[in-house]
Amino acid sequence: MVEQFNFGGYAGGEVRNISIPYVVEKVNGSERTYDLASRMMQDRIIFLDTDFNDQMAHIIKQQLVWLDSQGDSPITFYISSPGGSVHAGLGIADVAKSCISPIRTVVMGYAASMGCYTQSVIGTKGFRLGGKRSYFMCHQVSSGTQGLITDQKISLKHSDALNTLLTKEIAEAVGVTHEQLLKDADRDLWLNAEEALEYGEHGFIDGIILGPRNEEGKYLVKRRGGVEEWV
pLDDT tens digits, one per residue of 19-61: 677 777 777 878 878 788 888 899 999 999 999 999 999 999 9
38 is catalytic: no
Topology given in CATH for the domain delimited by 2-12+23-230: 2-enoyl-CoA Hydratase; Chain A, domain 1 (3.90.226)
Q: What is the arithmetic mean of pLDDT over 91-116?
A: 98
- The Cα–Cα gap between 159 and 90 comes to 14
Between these two residues, 21 and 14, which has the higher pLDDT value? 21
pLDDT at 162 over 80: yes
159 is catalytic: no
Whether the CB-CB separation of 22 and 35 falls below 8 Å is answered with yes
- Pick the catalytic residue from 80, 113, 134, 159: 113
- Pick the catalytic residue from 134, 139, 143, 155: 139
- State what percent of residues in the chain have pLDDT above 70: 91
- The Cα–Cα gap between 136 and 189 comes to 8
Whether the CB-CB separation of 81 and 49 falls below 8 Å is answered with yes
- The Cα–Cα gap between 131 and 220 comes to 11
